[in-house]
Amino acid sequence: MSDTSFYTIIMAGGVGSRFWPFSREHSPKQFHDILGRGKSMIQETVERFEGICSPENIYVVTHKKYVDKVKEHLPFLSHEQILAEPSRRNTAPCIAYACYKIAQKNPDAVTVVTPADHVIQNVERFQKAIRTAVKHAHKKDVLVTLGIKPNRPDTGYGYIQYQQPSGLFQKFKPYPLLPVKTFTEKPNLELAKKFLESGDFVWNAGIFIWHVESIKKAFQRYAPEIAEVFEEIEDHFFTESEREAVEQAYPLCKKISIDYAIMEKADNVYVIPVDCGWSDLGTWKSLYELAPKDDQQNVIQGTVLAYDSQQCIVKTPKDQLVVIQGLEGFIVAEHEGVLLICRQDQEQRVKEFVAEAKKIDKRFI
Protein backbone atom coordinates (compact mmCIF):
# COMPACT_ATOMS: atom_id res chain seq x y z
CA MET A 1 0.00 0.00 0.00
CA SER A 2 1.11 3.58 -0.53
CA ASP A 3 1.82 5.96 2.34
CA THR A 4 -1.06 8.10 1.12
CA SER A 5 -3.48 5.34 2.18
CA PHE A 6 -2.31 5.25 5.80
CA TYR A 7 -4.24 7.46 8.23
CA THR A 8 -3.95 8.13 11.95
CA ILE A 9 -7.02 8.87 14.09
CA ILE A 10 -6.29 10.46 17.47
CA MET A 11 -9.05 10.38 20.08
CA ALA A 12 -8.74 13.53 22.17
CA GLY A 13 -12.14 14.23 23.68
CA GLY A 14 -11.84 12.85 27.21
CA VAL A 15 -11.42 14.76 30.46
CA GLY A 16 -9.02 12.50 32.38
CA SER A 17 -10.68 13.28 35.71
CA ARG A 18 -8.42 10.87 37.65
CA PHE A 19 -5.63 13.42 37.04
CA TRP A 20 -7.55 16.19 38.80
CA PRO A 21 -6.83 18.97 39.63
CA PHE A 22 -4.30 19.12 36.79
CA SER A 23 -6.70 17.69 34.22
CA ARG A 24 -9.90 19.73 34.21
CA GLU A 25 -13.06 20.01 32.15
CA HIS A 26 -11.82 23.13 30.35
CA SER A 27 -8.28 21.79 29.84
CA PRO A 28 -7.86 17.98 29.91
CA LYS A 29 -4.55 16.22 30.38
CA GLN A 30 -3.93 15.63 26.65
CA PHE A 31 -3.23 19.37 26.37
CA HIS A 32 -0.72 19.38 29.24
CA ASP A 33 2.98 18.59 29.50
CA ILE A 34 2.38 15.89 32.09
CA LEU A 35 5.89 14.44 31.99
CA GLY A 36 7.70 17.78 32.00
CA ARG A 37 9.30 17.20 28.59
CA GLY A 38 8.27 20.48 26.98
CA LYS A 39 5.46 18.99 24.86
CA SER A 40 1.82 18.28 25.49
CA MET A 41 0.62 14.68 25.38
CA ILE A 42 -1.26 15.23 22.12
CA GLN A 43 1.90 16.69 20.56
CA GLU A 44 3.90 13.65 21.67
CA THR A 45 1.21 11.38 20.22
CA VAL A 46 1.54 13.04 16.81
CA GLU A 47 5.34 12.94 16.97
CA ARG A 48 5.45 9.18 17.36
CA PHE A 49 3.84 8.84 13.92
CA GLU A 50 6.50 10.96 12.21
CA GLY A 51 8.00 9.08 9.29
CA ILE A 52 5.13 6.60 9.01
CA CYS A 53 2.09 8.85 8.52
CA SER A 54 1.85 12.05 6.49
CA PRO A 55 0.69 15.11 8.49
CA GLU A 56 -2.23 15.62 6.11
CA ASN A 57 -3.46 12.11 6.98
CA ILE A 58 -3.71 12.76 10.72
CA TYR A 59 -7.24 13.29 12.03
CA VAL A 60 -8.19 14.29 15.56
CA VAL A 61 -11.61 13.56 17.06
CA THR A 62 -12.40 15.78 20.03
CA HIS A 63 -15.27 17.42 21.88
CA LYS A 64 -16.40 20.59 20.15
CA LYS A 65 -15.26 22.69 23.12
CA TYR A 66 -11.64 21.58 22.53
CA VAL A 67 -11.37 22.35 18.80
CA ASP A 68 -9.46 25.58 19.44
CA LYS A 69 -7.10 23.81 21.84
CA VAL A 70 -6.37 21.16 19.20
CA LYS A 71 -5.58 23.93 16.69
CA GLU A 72 -3.33 25.62 19.24
CA HIS A 73 -1.32 22.46 19.92
CA LEU A 74 -1.37 21.10 16.34
CA PRO A 75 -1.44 24.19 14.10
CA PHE A 76 -0.61 22.16 10.97
CA LEU A 77 -4.05 20.52 10.99
CA SER A 78 -6.61 21.79 8.51
CA HIS A 79 -10.21 22.42 9.53
CA GLU A 80 -11.35 19.15 7.96
CA GLN A 81 -8.79 17.16 9.96
CA ILE A 82 -10.41 18.11 13.29
CA LEU A 83 -13.65 16.23 13.92
CA ALA A 84 -15.82 17.94 16.53
CA GLU A 85 -18.10 15.71 18.59
CA PRO A 86 -21.19 17.56 19.83
CA SER A 87 -21.35 15.23 22.87
CA ARG A 88 -19.34 12.41 24.42
CA ARG A 89 -20.72 9.03 23.34
CA ASN A 90 -17.68 6.85 24.19
CA THR A 91 -15.25 5.39 21.66
CA ALA A 92 -17.50 3.48 19.23
CA PRO A 93 -19.33 6.54 17.78
CA CYS A 94 -16.07 8.52 17.89
CA ILE A 95 -14.25 5.88 15.84
CA ALA A 96 -17.18 5.37 13.48
CA TYR A 97 -17.32 9.09 12.70
CA ALA A 98 -13.62 9.22 11.82
CA CYS A 99 -13.51 5.96 9.85
CA TYR A 100 -16.64 6.70 7.83
CA LYS A 101 -15.32 10.18 7.03
CA ILE A 102 -11.91 8.92 5.93
CA ALA A 103 -13.54 6.14 3.88
CA GLN A 104 -15.52 8.79 2.04
CA LYS A 105 -12.24 10.39 0.97
CA ASN A 106 -10.15 7.23 0.46
CA PRO A 107 -12.00 3.88 0.31
CA ASP A 108 -8.64 2.08 0.41
CA ALA A 109 -7.48 3.69 3.64
CA VAL A 110 -5.97 1.78 6.55
CA THR A 111 -6.37 3.62 9.84
CA VAL A 112 -4.60 3.50 13.17
CA VAL A 113 -6.76 4.62 16.08
CA THR A 114 -4.95 5.84 19.19
CA PRO A 115 -5.78 7.81 22.35
CA ALA A 116 -4.13 11.23 22.71
CA ASP A 117 -3.01 10.76 26.31
CA HIS A 118 -0.86 7.63 26.34
CA VAL A 119 2.91 7.34 26.75
CA ILE A 120 5.19 5.29 24.50
CA GLN A 121 8.79 5.18 25.70
CA ASN A 122 10.21 3.06 22.83
CA VAL A 123 8.87 4.72 19.69
CA GLU A 124 10.99 2.55 17.35
CA ARG A 125 9.36 -0.68 18.58
CA PHE A 126 5.95 0.97 18.47
CA GLN A 127 6.43 2.06 14.87
CA LYS A 128 7.61 -1.40 13.80
CA ALA A 129 4.51 -2.99 15.34
CA ILE A 130 2.28 -0.39 13.65
CA ARG A 131 3.93 -0.99 10.26
CA THR A 132 3.39 -4.75 10.66
CA ALA A 133 -0.26 -4.26 11.60
CA VAL A 134 -0.87 -1.88 8.69
CA LYS A 135 0.54 -4.39 6.18
CA HIS A 136 -1.78 -7.11 7.47
CA ALA A 137 -4.81 -4.82 7.60
CA HIS A 138 -4.28 -3.73 4.02
CA LYS A 139 -4.21 -7.31 2.73
CA LYS A 140 -6.75 -9.04 4.99
CA ASP A 141 -10.17 -8.45 6.51
CA VAL A 142 -8.83 -8.23 10.06
CA LEU A 143 -9.30 -6.00 13.09
CA VAL A 144 -5.92 -5.62 14.77
CA THR A 145 -5.13 -4.31 18.23
CA LEU A 146 -1.80 -3.79 19.96
CA GLY A 147 -1.30 -5.80 23.13
CA ILE A 148 1.25 -4.64 25.67
CA LYS A 149 3.39 -7.32 27.24
CA PRO A 150 2.63 -7.05 30.98
CA ASN A 151 5.44 -6.71 33.52
CA ARG A 152 3.22 -6.86 36.62
CA PRO A 153 -0.26 -8.12 37.60
CA ASP A 154 -1.92 -4.72 37.19
CA THR A 155 -5.63 -4.51 38.05
CA GLY A 156 -6.08 -1.17 36.29
CA TYR A 157 -5.91 -2.50 32.72
CA GLY A 158 -8.06 -4.72 30.54
CA TYR A 159 -6.46 -7.95 29.31
CA ILE A 160 -6.44 -9.77 25.97
CA GLN A 161 -5.83 -13.51 25.74
CA TYR A 162 -4.38 -14.75 22.46
CA GLN A 163 -3.77 -18.14 20.89
CA GLN A 164 -0.17 -19.28 21.27
CA PRO A 165 2.04 -18.89 18.19
CA SER A 166 2.18 -21.80 15.76
CA GLY A 167 4.63 -22.39 12.94
CA LEU A 168 2.46 -20.22 10.75
CA PHE A 169 3.27 -17.16 12.83
CA GLN A 170 7.00 -17.66 13.28
CA LYS A 171 7.88 -15.61 10.19
CA PHE A 172 6.20 -12.59 11.77
CA LYS A 173 8.61 -12.44 14.71
CA PRO A 174 9.18 -10.27 16.67
CA TYR A 175 5.68 -8.90 15.94
CA PRO A 176 3.41 -11.89 15.28
CA LEU A 177 -0.24 -11.46 14.37
CA LEU A 178 -2.11 -13.67 16.84
CA PRO A 179 -5.82 -14.59 16.98
CA VAL A 180 -7.62 -13.18 20.01
CA LYS A 181 -9.40 -15.66 22.28
CA THR A 182 -10.93 -13.43 24.96
CA PHE A 183 -11.14 -9.88 26.29
CA THR A 184 -11.29 -9.40 30.06
CA GLU A 185 -12.08 -6.12 31.77
CA LYS A 186 -10.00 -5.00 34.77
CA PRO A 187 -9.53 -8.18 36.86
CA ASN A 188 -8.93 -8.56 40.57
CA LEU A 189 -5.35 -9.08 41.74
CA GLU A 190 -5.60 -12.86 42.04
CA LEU A 191 -6.88 -13.20 38.48
CA ALA A 192 -4.31 -10.70 37.16
CA LYS A 193 -1.54 -12.85 38.69
CA LYS A 194 -2.92 -15.94 36.91
CA PHE A 195 -3.02 -14.03 33.63
CA LEU A 196 0.63 -13.08 34.03
CA GLU A 197 1.66 -16.65 34.90
CA SER A 198 -0.16 -18.14 31.92
CA GLY A 199 1.98 -16.21 29.44
CA ASP A 200 -0.76 -15.74 26.85
CA PHE A 201 -2.29 -12.49 28.12
CA VAL A 202 -1.39 -8.92 27.22
CA TRP A 203 -2.70 -5.54 28.33
CA ASN A 204 -5.34 -3.93 26.15
CA ALA A 205 -3.79 -0.65 24.98
CA GLY A 206 -6.85 0.62 23.13
CA ILE A 207 -4.84 1.09 19.92
CA PHE A 208 -6.48 -0.35 16.80
CA ILE A 209 -5.50 -0.89 13.17
CA TRP A 210 -7.87 -1.80 10.32
CA HIS A 211 -8.91 -1.14 6.75
CA VAL A 212 -11.86 1.25 6.63
CA GLU A 213 -13.95 -1.32 4.76
CA SER A 214 -13.24 -3.93 7.46
CA ILE A 215 -14.39 -1.70 10.29
CA LYS A 216 -17.44 -0.53 8.32
CA LYS A 217 -18.45 -4.17 7.79
CA ALA A 218 -17.95 -4.79 11.51
CA PHE A 219 -20.20 -1.86 12.43
CA GLN A 220 -22.84 -3.05 9.98
CA ARG A 221 -22.79 -6.53 11.50
CA TYR A 222 -22.31 -5.88 15.22
CA ALA A 223 -23.49 -2.29 15.75
CA PRO A 224 -25.93 -1.67 12.89
CA GLU A 225 -27.60 1.27 14.62
CA ILE A 226 -24.28 3.16 14.65
CA ALA A 227 -23.52 2.15 11.06
CA GLU A 228 -26.90 3.44 9.96
CA VAL A 229 -26.34 6.82 11.63
CA PHE A 230 -23.09 7.49 9.78
CA GLU A 231 -24.16 5.94 6.47
CA GLU A 232 -27.01 8.45 6.40
CA ILE A 233 -24.73 11.45 6.77
CA GLU A 234 -21.60 10.36 4.88
CA ASP A 235 -22.50 12.52 1.86
CA HIS A 236 -22.13 15.55 4.14
CA PHE A 237 -18.50 14.79 5.02
CA PHE A 238 -16.00 17.38 3.73
CA THR A 239 -18.84 19.82 3.01
CA GLU A 240 -20.16 22.91 4.79
CA SER A 241 -23.13 20.89 6.04
CA GLU A 242 -21.01 18.30 7.90
CA ARG A 243 -21.15 20.02 11.28
CA GLU A 244 -24.95 20.35 11.25
CA ALA A 245 -25.38 16.74 10.08
CA VAL A 246 -23.13 15.46 12.86
CA GLU A 247 -24.93 17.60 15.46
CA GLN A 248 -28.21 15.95 14.49
CA ALA A 249 -26.81 12.42 14.14
CA TYR A 250 -24.72 12.08 17.29
CA PRO A 251 -27.58 11.95 19.81
CA LEU A 252 -28.87 8.90 17.91
CA CYS A 253 -25.76 6.93 18.89
CA LYS A 254 -25.80 5.14 22.22
CA LYS A 255 -22.85 5.51 24.55
CA ILE A 256 -20.73 2.43 24.00
CA SER A 257 -17.03 1.58 23.75
CA ILE A 258 -15.49 0.04 20.65
CA ASP A 259 -14.55 -2.99 22.76
CA TYR A 260 -18.15 -3.73 23.73
CA ALA A 261 -19.64 -2.73 20.37
CA ILE A 262 -17.21 -4.56 18.07
CA MET A 263 -14.01 -6.10 19.39
CA GLU A 264 -15.53 -8.55 21.88
CA LYS A 265 -18.04 -9.80 19.29
CA ALA A 266 -16.05 -10.02 16.05
CA ASP A 267 -14.41 -13.25 14.92
CA ASN A 268 -11.60 -11.61 12.91
CA VAL A 269 -9.78 -9.87 15.78
CA TYR A 270 -6.02 -10.24 16.07
CA VAL A 271 -3.42 -8.86 18.46
CA ILE A 272 0.24 -7.97 18.01
CA PRO A 273 2.10 -8.22 21.34
CA VAL A 274 4.68 -5.47 21.78
CA ASP A 275 6.94 -4.23 24.56
CA CYS A 276 7.29 -0.50 23.88
CA GLY A 277 7.23 1.16 27.28
CA TRP A 278 3.51 1.91 27.10
CA SER A 279 1.40 3.53 29.80
CA ASP A 280 -2.06 5.03 29.62
CA LEU A 281 -0.88 7.56 32.21
CA GLY A 282 -4.36 7.47 33.68
CA THR A 283 -3.57 8.17 37.31
CA TRP A 284 -1.15 9.96 39.59
CA LYS A 285 0.31 6.56 40.48
CA SER A 286 1.14 5.85 36.84
CA LEU A 287 2.90 9.22 36.55
CA TYR A 288 4.87 8.45 39.71
CA GLU A 289 6.01 5.13 38.23
CA LEU A 290 7.14 6.72 34.95
CA ALA A 291 8.74 9.97 36.06
CA PRO A 292 12.37 10.45 37.18
CA LYS A 293 12.88 10.32 40.96
CA ASP A 294 15.33 11.93 43.36
CA ASP A 295 17.42 10.15 45.98
CA GLN A 296 14.40 9.93 48.29
CA GLN A 297 12.26 8.39 45.53
CA ASN A 298 10.25 11.60 45.19
CA VAL A 299 8.92 12.86 41.85
CA ILE A 300 9.25 16.63 41.92
CA GLN A 301 7.84 18.92 39.22
CA GLY A 302 7.87 22.52 40.38
CA THR A 303 9.80 24.71 42.84
CA VAL A 304 9.81 22.45 45.86
CA LEU A 305 11.79 22.06 49.08
CA ALA A 306 11.26 18.54 50.45
CA TYR A 307 12.38 17.59 53.96
CA ASP A 308 12.14 14.15 55.57
CA SER A 309 9.82 13.06 52.74
CA GLN A 310 9.93 9.92 50.62
CA GLN A 311 8.04 8.37 47.71
CA CYS A 312 5.90 11.45 47.09
CA ILE A 313 4.81 13.06 43.84
CA VAL A 314 4.68 16.85 43.88
CA LYS A 315 3.46 18.70 40.79
CA THR A 316 2.99 22.44 41.33
CA PRO A 317 3.50 25.70 39.37
CA LYS A 318 7.14 26.75 39.02
CA ASP A 319 6.36 30.29 40.16
CA GLN A 320 5.15 29.05 43.55
CA LEU A 321 7.44 27.78 46.28
CA VAL A 322 6.13 24.63 47.95
CA VAL A 323 7.66 23.21 51.14
CA ILE A 324 6.78 19.71 52.36
CA GLN A 325 8.03 18.01 55.49
CA GLY A 326 7.46 14.55 56.94
CA LEU A 327 5.39 13.13 54.09
CA GLU A 328 5.64 9.58 52.76
CA GLY A 329 3.72 8.26 49.76
CA PHE A 330 1.67 11.42 49.16
CA ILE A 331 0.35 13.25 46.10
CA VAL A 332 0.68 17.03 46.32
CA ALA A 333 -0.75 18.73 43.24
CA GLU A 334 -1.83 22.33 42.65
CA HIS A 335 -3.31 23.80 39.49
CA GLU A 336 -5.39 26.90 38.86
CA GLY A 337 -6.55 27.46 42.40
CA VAL A 338 -7.12 23.85 43.42
CA LEU A 339 -4.75 22.04 45.78
CA LEU A 340 -4.86 18.26 46.24
CA ILE A 341 -3.04 16.53 49.10
CA CYS A 342 -3.80 12.82 49.13
CA ARG A 343 -2.12 9.54 49.96
CA GLN A 344 -1.06 7.70 46.81
CA ASP A 345 -2.75 4.53 48.03
CA GLN A 346 -6.03 6.45 48.24
CA GLU A 347 -5.90 7.97 44.76
CA GLN A 348 -8.97 6.01 43.67
CA ARG A 349 -10.92 8.53 45.74
CA VAL A 350 -10.02 11.37 43.36
CA LYS A 351 -13.29 10.92 41.45
CA GLU A 352 -15.11 11.24 44.77
CA PHE A 353 -13.24 14.47 45.47
CA VAL A 354 -14.17 15.80 42.02
CA ALA A 355 -17.85 15.05 42.62
CA GLU A 356 -17.78 16.93 45.92
CA ALA A 357 -15.83 19.85 44.41
CA LYS A 358 -18.47 20.16 41.69
CA LYS A 359 -21.11 20.79 44.35
CA ILE A 360 -19.07 23.72 45.69
CA ASP A 361 -18.24 25.38 42.35
CA LYS A 362 -18.12 23.96 38.80
CA ARG A 363 -15.01 26.05 38.15
CA PHE A 364 -13.09 23.65 40.38
CA ILE A 365 -13.62 20.76 37.99
- Give residue-wise pLDDT tens across range 101-128: 999 999 999 999 999 999 999 999 999 9
For position 172, what pLDDT does the model report? 56
Q: Which residues contact 200 (CB under 8 A, 6 or more apart)?
A: 161, 162, 163, 164, 181
- Radius of gyration for the chain, computed over Cα atoms and rounded to the nearest angstrom: 21
- For the segment 306-315, what is each residue's pLDDT rounded down to a tens digit? 999 999 999 9
For position 281, what pLDDT does the model report? 86
- For the segment 55-97, what is each residue's pLDDT rounded down to a tens digit? 999 999 999 999 999 999 999 999 999 999 999 999 999 999 9
Higher pLDDT among residues 351 and 46, named by residue: 46
- For the segment 132-188, what is each residue's pLDDT rounded down to a tens digit? 999 999 999 999 999 998 888 888 889 999 987 655 444 556 788 999 999 988 888
Q: Which residues contact 168 (CB under 8 A, 6 or more apart)?
A: none
Query: Taking a C-beta distance cutoff of 8 angstroms, is the pair 201, 195 a contact?
Result: yes
- What b-and-e string marks burial along 66-104, b requiring 16 or more CB atoms within 10 Å of the CB? bbebbbebbeebeeebbbbbeeebbbbbbbbbbbbbbbb
For position 314, what pLDDT does the model report? 97
For position 224, what pLDDT does the model report? 98
DSSP class of 172: G
For position 4, what pLDDT does the model report? 81
- For the segment 304-337, what is each residue's pLDDT rounded down to a tens digit? 999 999 999 999 999 999 999 999 999 999 999 9
Tell me which residue of 21, 186, 39, 4 sits closest to 120, measured CA to CA.
39
- Bridge-based pairing state of the strands 119-120 and 269-274: unpaired
Amino acid at 1: M
- For the segment 259-290, what is each residue's pLDDT rounded down to a tens digit? 999 999 999 999 999 999 999 888 898 899 88
For residue 129, name the pLDDT band (cuts at 50, 70, 90). very high
Give all domains of the chain, ordered by start, each with its CATH number. 6-279 (3.90.550.10), 284-364 (no CATH)
For position 167, what pLDDT does the model report? 52
For position 151, what pLDDT does the model report? 84
For position 165, what pLDDT does the model report? 62
Describe the crossing of helices 212-222 and 224-233 by its angle, rounded to 10 degrees.
Answer: 120
SS3 call for 19? helix
For position 166, what pLDDT does the model report? 56
Q: What DSSP string runs through 127-142?
A: HHHHHHHHHHHHHSS-
Describe the crossing of helices 242-249 and 224-233 by its angle, rounded to 10 degrees.
Answer: 160
Please, what is the average pLDDT of the chain? Answer: 93
Other Cβ atoms less than 10 A from the Cβ of 349: the count is 10
Q: Rounded to 5 degrees, what angle do the CA atoms 214, 219, 223 make?
A: 160
